[in-house]
Chain A
Amino acid sequence: MRTYNRFVLSVAGVLMLTTVVLAAVGADSLGVYYSVYVLGALIIAQAFVHVSPRARQGLNLVSGGLFVGFLGMVLAEAVRFLA
């Protein structure tokens, strides 16, 4: 199986497992789901070191975007907490 197939299957598996586990524990906040999804995707993206430089560049861009989304969510939660 090629590296990219393994990578896509790993991300899909982790996202699915996250959904199942969070639904089982009764998590109902979109922020919690998003944060765990982002964390899982970032960890797997870093674990696959042997990808072509072009793919790595694209993945870094996606990781950056997801992280900005995560920071936005944290900021929104902080504002809501302080208000």
Chain B
Amino acid sequence: MLIMSFILLALARAVPRLPPEVGRVIMETGMENIAAVVEELGISQKPVYLPSSLAGGRSRALLPLRETPGALRLAGPLPRRFIVRYGSEPDDVGLLVTTVGTVAVAMLESAPGNSASEFESALGSLLVGRLGAADGVRATVTNPGIQVEVRGSRVEAASAGAAGCLDSSLASVIAAVAAEAWDRPFVVVGEERRGARHTIRLEMQ
């Protein structure tokens, strides 16, 4: 009984100080605001998740203002600004936004490695351990993409407004970690949800 009591006391330290409902309200407010800006500008291109080396020291997502066929070509590292010029063409302009993945990547204790097992381990420690958002993660690397299966996902689908132009919170976290691990831009090309099993497919840019 004493051993169990000590263990329960130790685990109580992991209980978040901020109530989950408060966190949810703050997150939904931010998501709604970003979705409103994106919808108002008529952006239909999916976000490109950039590693910290290409986005001013912090992993971020680039929302190009115009449709770009094929892979996005960056002229170089982008400045830490909201509206950025990313290519050589005059209309290569986009929005550099902070996503759920940006904040989640900052929670990683060390930079994720670029092998499938290291990537899976980083996602596991983040989604299963740190955030408690899933029961398990499995990653399969297939050139040029990555498929991630998340078991027992507890992350609710994004609000209808945000879901149309932005990726789900879970996809955002996974894509941001992938971008950081491979130090390359990534795009979410597919998301599928069957019950608590979530499959996310990413493609390297």
Answer whether residue B160 sits at the interface, using C-beta atoms and an 8 A cutoff. Answer: no
Whether B4 and A58, one on each chain, are in contact in the complex, defined by CB atoms closer than 8 angstroms, is: no
Whether A66 and B11, one on each chain, are in contact in the complex, defined by CB atoms closer than 8 angstroms, is: no
Whether B11 and A4, one on each chain, are in contact in the complex, defined by CB atoms closer than 8 angstroms, is: yes
Quick one: which of A8, A41, A52, A58 contacts B129, CB cutoff 8 A? A52
Interface size on B, residues (CB 8 A): 20
Indicate whether A58 sits within 8 Å of B132 (C-beta atoms), given known contacts A11-B7, A15-B4, A41-B7: no
The secondary-structure label for the interface of chain B is helix
Distance A62 CA – B152 CA, assembled complex (angstroms): 29
Answer whether residue B25 sits at the interface, using C-beta atoms and an 8 A cutoff. Answer: no
Answer whether residue A12 sits at the interface, using C-beta atoms and an 8 A cutoff. Answer: yes
Answer whether residue A80 sits at the interface, using C-beta atoms and an 8 A cutoff. Answer: no
Which size bracket describes the interface of A in this complex? Answer: 20 to 34
Whether A62 and B132, one on each chain, are in contact in the complex, defined by CB atoms closer than 8 angstroms, is: no
Whether B10 and A37, one on each chain, are in contact in the complex, defined by CB atoms closer than 8 angstroms, is: no
Indicate whether A51 sits within 8 Å of B3 (C-beta atoms), given known contacts A7-B11, A57-B13: no
Whether B7 and A54, one on each chain, are in contact in the complex, defined by CB atoms closer than 8 angstroms, is: no
**Can you list 24 A-B contacts with CB-CB less than 8 angstroms, sorted by A residue number?**
A2-B132, A4-B132, A7-B11, A8-B7, A8-B11, A11-B4, A11-B7, A37-B3, A41-B3, A41-B7, A49-B129, A50-B128, A52-B129, A53-B109, A53-B130, A55-B10, A55-B13, A58-B9, A58-B10, A58-B14, A59-B10, A59-B11, A62-B6, A62-B7
